[in-house]
Structure formats: structure tokens, C-alpha cells
Chain A
Amino acid sequence: MSTPLVEPPASAARRSYLGDGNTIASWLLTKDHKRIAILYLISITLFFFIGGAFAVMIRLELLTPQGDLVSAETYNKLFSMHGIVMVFLFLVPSVPATLGNFLIPLMIGARDLAFPKVNLLSWYLLIAGAVLALWAIVSGGVDTGWTFYTPYSSTYSNSYVMLAATGVFVAGFSSILTGLNFIVTIHKMRAPGLTWGRLPLFVWSHYATSLIQVLGTPVLAITLVLLGFERIAHVGIFDPHIGGDPVLFQHLFWFYSHPAVYIMILPGMGVVSELITCFSRKRVFGYGFVAAASLAIAVLGFLVWGHHLFVSGQSVYAGMVFSLLSYLVAIPSAIKVFNWTATLYKGSISYATPMLYAFGFIGLFTMGGLTGLFVAALGFDVHVHDTYFIIAHFHYIMVGGMVMAYMGGIHFWWPKMTGRMYPEGWAKFAALLVFAGFNLTFFPQFILGYMGMPRRYHAYPPEFQVLNVMSTAGASILALGYLIPMIYMLWSMRYGAIAGPNPWGAVGLEWQTSSPPPTENFIRTPIVTEETYHYSDEEKTIV
């Protein structure tokens, strides 16, 4: 196919990427970024429900103070596998691998990512990693926590640590290759006129995410290799018998895994920037600052890992430096929140489902972020370390932030991906259920943690029961809130209203092509002549 600039015949142009072959091979061997995004969407939805099933069992056990539903050992495995599946198989790939994969070439006016085969390979790596992790789960599970701390994981645990760690290792390369593909694509494949200053904020946040994926993930990979070596050879660099330091494992692990938290939130911030500007009919306030804040979060994110080690015997001086650096992350995060809020000011706001999720994101992310400041404080962290306060804090970021953004993004771009609208009424209902269920689940956990309930125990003193019952009740509502979209999204693929190319009246190159887009994305390579988010006055009509 040597002549891409020649216009294809009209019949081929109208054929969407979905209609381009429907055999199993046409999907499993596809190199089209849009189809690969769909493959990711299906797989991570499955992983989300597997990880969710573990959460359900955790919440059921915690309904009563006694350890009556599962044994302590089983409970250890439940929270470990919940963490491993949700972090490595759902949250890390979530927005980048689905929406990012689908949208980045469309948003920059390219025909595909720079390396389509590598893109398909990265999906297979995720699946291979997932198969290994699930194999570990069905063999009997793993009980180290998702953090694999030594010497427990290297010496004492009798569970399937190697299988699970290998799964995480392999899935890590999926993440690296996705990041590599995005970086090269964003650098080299932008349409004529699409300067860096005109890039959508979604693309900026994915660029920042990709930097972390490329620079952080290999450190996790080598750490898991070192862990595996120690588990197999019964001697290694974290082994105190030969002068090794288990805390070094924690340093190396968090050198990846703290930046990984930003892998799990930056793409969500990108989604929210797009949603807020579209449903306010206004240019994002302080575009340059929001874009730069993504990069700042990525850079600062590499300098704060030590705040996970305040009680691990790290030196007090190191703790003070890490505490200070952790506070600095609040600055770019706050810039984003304030700029989104300022974008709303005098905007022509409409309350479509994606916007509800965006509002939910801003509120819950702010809660998660502010409590992040609490736990970045040395003294307070000693009090709440390893309590439910921490659990609540990071679930406000990961679930209240990222999953809200993911849901918002899926609803927003669903018409682009499938060509059909989802049912707005049901969607709004589910969005409200998610918001209410989420808060009922996790807000009580702040109080529980502050009162001293430790994480990772299957039994607790009876005085904590009321709050735990509230939390479990909230989790049930939350689960319903996730199941309803699952049903109506599938329904809409057949029965939803035809969306048309631009149902939201949004700007952005992805809305200029048909829905669903043709295989080659654009009939003609678009030429960009304006800044992004050029919502003019006549476009300020409420959809």
C-alpha cells in the first residue's frame, strides 16, 4: 500500500473499521489501533469484574467483626489478588490502552500509531501476563499483597508468588510498549499544523503518562527479576543473611509504583479536561498550565517514592525530604483542579452523563488529593500508616478519580467508537449510583482508619462494625452502578440511536471523521489551522 495520499474510492471510504472483516482472525491479528483498543476494552472489562469479585468477597467478610466467611489465609489472598488484578491488569492499561489507543491517532490526524505491530504485541503481552496471574489465582492464589514485599515474598510465602510476579513482569512490558508507541506517535505523526501548543490536553496527559511508563516500569521489571532470583536461589540482594536489605526492595518497588499511581491518574485527568471543555462550550482555562502540570506531575512523581517508607526504617532526614517533595505534587494537581473549575465559569454548561462523571472526578479527586497531603505529613502518616485511612485515600484517587474518568470517557467517546448513542436516562442514573455508592463505600473508611482500624485483617473489634456495614452497603450500590452500564452499553451497540459524526458538537479532529471512523481514520489527512478548543459563540448551543 504505497500511495496513502491518494483518495480511496468512495465505497471504501464509507466502510467503518468495524465492518472491515468480522472473522476471529480479523480481530486477533488486526493492526488497526481502533480494533486493538476494542480488544483492550473487552479484556480489561473482564479483569475489572474479576478484580471486583475479590472486592465483593473482601467486603462480605468485613460485614461482621469475626473472621467467619473466609480464613485469614484466604483473606490475605483475596486482598492480594484484588490489588494485583486491579492495578496491573485494569488501572494501568485502563484509559491509555483503550481510549488512548483509539483516540490518539484520531486526535493528531494520523492513520495509526507509529508501530501497529508493536501495539498488537502489547495487547498479547497483557493477555499473557493476565493468563499467568490468573493461573496463579486458580492454582491457589498469592498472599503477599500486591506489593510483593521481601522477605515475605522471597522466602516465607508458600503461595504462587513466582507465577503472579512473572505475570506482572510480562504485563509491564505491555505497558512499556504502549508508552513507547505513544511517545513516538506524538512526536512524529502529528498532522500538518498541529503544533505542540495545539495538542489536545488528552494527548498531553498521555505523553506524560508514557514517559512514566517507559522510565518507571523497567525498574519494576528488574526488581521482580531480583525477587525471582532470590526466591529460586534462596540467596539474593535483599537477603539479610548475606548483608542484604529488604528495605531496598521497597525503594525499588516504589520507585516504579509511586509514579505508577500517576500512570493511573494522568490519563484520567486528560479525559476530564476534554469533558469539561466540551460540556462548558469553552476553551480550557490556562491551557498551557494544564499541559505543563501533566509533565510536572510526571517528573515530580519520580521523586516522592520514599513517602511509602516513613515507617520502614528509612532515615528521618530522607523522610523529611520525601515529605516536602510529596507536598510539591499538590501544586500541579491543584493547578488542574482550579483550571477545570475556572473553565466552568461563565461556560454554557450541560449535564450529559460524561459531564456528571467529570464533576464526580473533580470532587472525589480533590478529596483523595487533599488526604494525600495528610499522609505526606510525617507525623500524621505514622498514625494512619497501614490503616483504612490509606485505603480510603488511594481509592478516592484510583476509583473516585481514574474509574470515574474512565467511565466518563467511555460514555463520551462511545458514539465515536460504535456509531451509536447509549441511553442517556439510564446512564445518568448509573452515574449517580456510582457516585453515591462510591462515597458510601469509602468515606467510612477514612473514619475507620483514623480510629485505628488496620488494613489487611479479616477480623476487627466490634465497635468498628457500623462503619464497615455502611462500607459494604455502599460497595453493593457501587457494583450495581458498574453493572448497569455494562448492560446498556451492550444493548446500545444494536439498538442505540445512530450518533452521527459529532453528537456533542465537540471540537477536536476525532469528531471530524465519521462514527465509527473508517479504517484509515481520515479520507484526507487533516490540516490544522486553529488552536484546540476553539469553541466560538455560535457553537455555544446546549446539546
Chain B
Amino acid sequence: MSLDLLPDRTGERRVVRRRLTLAVVIIAIMFMAVIGRTAYLQVAQYDYLSARSQDNRVRLAPVDPTRGIIADRQGRVLAENRSAFSLVIIPEQVADMEALLAELDQLLDLSEAEIAAFREARRRSRSFHEIPLRLELSESMVAELTVNRHRFQGVEVKPQLVRHYPFGESGSHVLGHVGRISREELARADRRRYRHTSFTGKAGVEAFHEDRLQGRLGVERIETNALGRPLRVLERDPPVPGNDIQLTIDIELQQVAEAAMGDHRGAIVALDPRSGEVLALASLPTFDPNALARGLDGASFQALNQDWRQPLFNRATQGRYPPGSVIKPLLGLAGIAGDYIDPDEIVHCHGRFNLPNVSRTWRDWRPEGHGPVDFIQAVAQSCDIYYYQLAHTMGIDAMHQWMTRFGYGLRTGIDLPSERDGVMPSRDWKRRVLGEPWYTGETINTGIGQGFMLTTPLQMATTTALIANRGVPIRPRLVSNQTLAQPPVEGLEPLTDIDESLWELTVDSMIETVHGPRGTARATGAGLGYQMAGKTGTAQVIGIGEDEEYDEETLDARFHDHALFTAFAPAENPEIVVAVMVEHGGSGSATAAPMARQVIDAWLNREESEGELVRR
């Protein structure tokens, strides 16, 4: 069969052409629809869709600022930023998170706390953000991870600045430490300065001076592809680094103080009475701030936090102890200035004190008594009977008034967080706190710094500095380049109404304590190349019955007395004030005074080499 292609029949041609014309119309309409739709997207929806395309590709990534460096008064770096490699995970790039964590666990031995923290951070973070799993990787781990890179899709090893405290446990209560910002902290924080992975000061100077140390976050506009992989930085608003801080602390002296405390628990505060600059502030035992900055897992933190020795507790500013006999110089001064006693008046001490119509007998620490003592000898020999008498004469109201003027019971205003006040008891105080009236017997106890009276070791130092300064109070401070004016502590004013000679007399009583033949600290004063003024104190932890003897041998260690000593030197022109408190250390003269001498010796014999703040 052969197909016969006949010449066109006009009618048939018309049929097809009519349909073709119809098709042309349809084609035109449909192409116009394509153009119309495109125009709608590209003109009417341009702003919206072009914004979405920007959103697609540009990610804002915060850049952490460098935290300010903390140095000691000689410019030695106490807190710095070290770059370390941390392991981060970008969850969106991980195919099987559980499998990955299991593999990483084999390699890194992840703790449950690390995994829990990771999951928490993952829940809180935005997509395509890195979530830290471990902060500091050892070099071998970095190598291992790099070699096995292909196995760990979505895992990155990133350099990051980690806070480092080169002196370790030394001065840790002063420095404090940093840690990851908590959700509560972040909620209150300025979001231009913090993000969810930021570090923030958690204690000590790191916390108190957080505003100065922390800079402002920078921002990088990063172009990413559809997988969220960063390709290049489009724009960069650099972070503003934090300010460096120079402390008044001398880390060498700090170490001397910590070494002097040995295995005891306690606190040593050394400051310059002329300026209030704190030279050393030791609280023992200490802790390693490096471990806390890297982030302890829950169990380790619990162990540290619940350690019965309380290593995290800053005894120097937060510990409250009965001051015992160290209040005697100032209480005596108050008695003399208030005309309750004459400094030359002799009190005969037989080791016992009784109140009329009270059956109780108060005993001197020296059972046989001190014989006849005037003010100077009463301080030097730490005669309790003299002070029972004085307290009885003054009464609690006058004692409270005078001692509060000296700074007892008040915060010193040091630039550290959570400083505690002490207690300078009064009728008011007792009614308010205990809901009970004041009893005369309690006045007697207060006369030797016992009973309700409590002070922090720092307060012992600042009240001693008041004597060293002959009546000029100071506010202790840790930061030397503080531009902020230092307002005096509220209610603490120069004691201009007390005659200069009375201050000298008080100083003399303390010199006699160290250098006098019957001074309680004469053993410590032996062979000194300079004149030291000091006062011992031995504070009872438990009430000893009126007829009982205090016997260290038979008493459990935790009931042993606290050993106290405050001193300054050189006595005539003081450069350093030291307060020592040793928990359950026994007697102030035997335990605390030698420690103070070590610190003062080290300071007065130091080689002067004050330098500028050194940056590594």
C-alpha cells in the first residue's frame, strides 16, 4: 500500500489552520501567564523574597570578645586567656546523633554530665549553630579527631579562648573563676555582651569586676550554603575586648601567706593601711579555678561544693568568727576615750571575776591571773579580768556605739561579691534577731570578743588598720587601677574626736604585746629586725563551763579554739597590716602569730620591683 499524499484540499487546510489559530491564542495566553507570574514574584514580591534569599544565605555569628587579663600588683598575670581546642557539633550535619555520641564516647570517654550539658545546649540553640561538647581537647585527641575526620560528619575541632589561671589554686578566692553563663544569668544579661555559650565571672574579682572584664560581642555576617556550611565572612563587626585589671594583690606574698597557713584551715589578710590596698587575701583550703572554668561535671562539683572543709568558701570575707582578744586594744581605747577608765589605773587580776548578785564566775585564760595590770599590760598580757571589768563599767550600749564606730559589725566594702558583715551585738540586735532581752552577763562576754560578737578576718584587718593609721579608717580594695572614687564605708568616719596620744597609747600596747617581756606574742617578737605591733586572740568555739579547764589534749579537734592574731609593722610608720585566723588552731600566740610574722617579714624584706601590667 502506498500512501497517496493528495494535493491539499482547501477545506481541510482551513480546518487545521483554524485550530492552529486557536492554538496560537492559547500559547500566547500561557506564555503571558508565565511572564505574569514571574513578574509578580520579581516585582510585587521582590522585597519579601529577596529578604528570604538573604536570610537563606547570611547567618549572623557572634564573635566572643577577649576577656580582660587580671594581673597582680607587679604585673604578673593571674588570669589570662589561652587558646585551646574544643570539640563542637553541628547537629544539622549529623546523620545519627546517638551513634556519633557513642563513637565519640569511645574516643573521649565522655561523662554523663558532658552529654547532658550538650543536650541541654542543643535544645536551646538555633539551627546550624555549633554546640560545644568538650572544651579542652588534649593534643593527642585533636590529632586523633583530625585523622578520623571522615568518620565524624558534623564534628568540628575549633580553637577557642579558655580562661587560664597560671597560679592555679593560689589566690583562687580573690580571683574567683569564670564559667558558662547560666540561663538565668543570660535572661538578665545584656545580649550585646553575652550569648548562650559565653563565659561570665562566677566568683571573686572575676564576678565583681565582670563589667570591666567582659567586652562586647562582635558580629560576623557569614555566607552559608544550603547545608549551613559557612563559606566566607561578608562583614565583620569586631568584638570589643574587655579591660585588663591590675590587682593590689602581690602573688608572691599571697603564696607566702598560703604556705604559712600550711595544712590548717583559716584565713590571712594583708593590706597596706595607707591605701587600703589588699596585698594578700588567703583562704585555706583553696580550689583550682582552672577546673571550674573548664566546667566541672555535676558529681565533681557536688564533691567540691559539699566538701566539709568548704574549699569554695572565702573565709576571709565570708567567714564569721568570734574575734576574741584581738578587740582588746580598740575596746580599751574606747574605754579611755569615753572616760570609763584611766589608762594608768591599775586593776588587780586574780584570775576570777564576779558580778554582784550573780553566782556565775568569769575566769581569766590564765587561771592564776596576771596580778596588777594597767591598760598597756592588760593588752600585752591579754588580761581578761581587766576587760570584764571595763565591759561592766561601759555597758553594752556604749560598747556597741564605740565598736561600731571602729567598723565592727559592718561590711568593709571590699570589691568582692558576697562579703558578710559581722555582729557587734546590742540590746536592739538581740531583740531583733533572737527576740530576747539583753543580759548583763552577755556584756561581760562581749568584753573579750566572745558571746554574740562575730567578725570576718577582713574586718579584723581593717579595724587593725584603723589603729595603724591612728584613727583614719580605710576601705580595702583589690583593684588598683580603679577609676571609681572610693566612697567610705557608710557610717565610718575619721575618728577626729579621739586624741592622737590615745592612738599612740593603743599602738604602744600592741608593741608591748610583741616586744614586751610579758607580751603574749613575745616569742614571735624575738629577733625581729623591725618593730611590730600585734594582738593575739584565742576564741572559744564552745562554751567552757565556768569551773572547767580548757584542755586541748582531751578535746575533739573541731572544738579547739580559733587562733587569731592581728598585727602591723613597722609600728611607727606602718606599711602592712596582717590579720590571721586559724580555725581550731589553738592559741593565737603559738599558731597565728608566727604566720603573721612570716607574711610581714616577706613583705618588709621584699625586693622592690614594681612593674607595669605585663601582657603575655
A, B: real partners: no
Which residues of A are interface residues toward B (Cβ below 8 A)? none
Which residues of B are interface residues toward A (Cβ below 8 A)? none
